[in-house]
Chain A
Amino acid sequence: MTDVKLPFLAQGVEKATITYWHRDVGDSIKEGEDLVELATDKATFNLPSPVSGILKEVKASDGEEVRVGQIIAKIE
């Protein structure tokens, strides 16, 4: 099981808002494919999956804020 954490985005930016999950729980995903879209005040980001596998769990839904370093999904 791989924990997907929100990486460092920018200085002073500690949170981002989840705007879109490209996959639902139970879907398969390949390493490097977009997993989730996030927004900060300045920009919108796509976070690719760090591994190939099945998306087992998402820790935050659309519109929810997540913090840098926080586990936002689990992939197996």
Chain B
Amino acid sequence: MQDAAVPPWLKKRLVYDESMNTMKEALSASGVATVCEESLCPNLNECFSKKEITFLILGEFCTRSCGFCSVSNSPNLKHTPGVCFKGNMVDPDEPRKVADAVDRLSLKYVVITSVTRDDLDDGGAGQFVKVIESVRLVSKHVKIEVLVPDFKGTKSSIKKIAKASADVFGHNIETVRRLYPIARRGADYDRSLSVLRLVKELRQDQITKSSIMVGLGEEEQEVIQTMQNVRSAGCDILTIGQYLRPHKENLPVSRLVRPEEFERYVGIGYDFGFKHVSSGPFVRSSYFAQNIYESVMSLASTHKQRTLGTIFFIEKIGGY
């Protein structure tokens, strides 16, 4: 029997691709981690078949314990909220390993993200820079998107990243202000907005990007407020997607947002002035990252951007 609890728009279409194994082997040979795997992403099969990967640097363990996330925060107490693990070594060979994977797979666009490292003085910003530089050494033409933690708001860390000139600078607001104490302990709503604002002040031509999950307990009006705040921080690209619980220890899914609501966010987002808005059940911050980057780069007029963004959204919904 078909499971009545899962609405049709939340059924993910799988892709057949024998190259999947090649991909996994290359990642494994390079010794790199991906957030695609660590977060149990439902898009993994689709993205890997298109050679779209998000590398996860700075170790396997996070010093925070966000209620929505499946990345471990301790080697012994996996997925235990509230327990932080400190002192895992930064791998000095990591920049080379990521570059090696980029080279092996001939990637044209890479997304690099990390666990949060509150235990490091610079929050890991220096390692981000080394990885960016190392990737650029193996491929001059590769486009690089970073998705960084808040670095506890440390300006020198954000400045380091800004100077490394990634093609896209991402920092996720993740959820609405009211839910921060539940969903993003250790983070601060205003601090995350200031990260986005600061990088834009440091480098005006930096494309910035942020992401919101829905289904954590927020209301539509709060999402709209968050979109407005993110846009006011100068953010260019916004992605909105359905939260799905990775483990039973994580926060429950409060609601399954209907496609109509996702579509409303597209219209509202463009009215607020975002250059691109992706909104849909399976949209994640790095989903179709290359296409989004290219559409932002190639389109000058607001009208064109709006049309393309909406079509992109409908295409994504159409298959489910």
Name A residues whose Cβ lies closer than 8 Å to a Cβ of B. 7-13, 19-20, 34, 37, 39, 41-48, 50, 62
Contact = CB atoms under 8 A, between A and B. Distances in A.
B122 interface: no
Contact of A10 (B1, B6, B42): B42
Contacts of B320: 46
A49 to B, nearest CB: 9
A25 B288 CA distance: 36
B6 A7 contact: no
**Main SS of the interface on chain B?**
loop
Interface stretch (B33-41, B99-107, B222-230, B299-307): B33-41
A11 B38 contact: yes
Nearest to A19: B3
Given A7-B20, A9-B45, A19-B2, A43 B12 contact: yes
B16 A50 contact: yes
Interface in B38-73: 38, 40-42, 44-45, 48
9 contacts: A8-B21, A9-B14, A20-B1, A42-B246, A44-B6, A44-B10, A45-B45, A46-B14, A47-B14
A39 B13 contact: no
B313 to A, nearest CB: 20
Nearest to A6: B14
Nearest to A11: B37
Contacts of A44: 3, 6, 10-12
B3 A43 contact: no
Interface residues of B, number: 30
**Main SS of the interface on chain A?**
strand
Contacts, number: 75
A37 B14 CA distance: 10
B2 A46 contact: no
B163 interface: no
Contacts of A9: 14, 44-45
B244 interface: yes
A39 B12 contact: no
Contacts of B191: none
B13 A7 contact: no
B126 to A, nearest CB: 28
Nearest to A12: B40
B3 A42 contact: no
Nearest to A49: B16
Nearest to B6: A44
Interface core residue of A13, A37, A42 (most chain B CB under 10 Å): A42
A57 B6 CA distance: 27
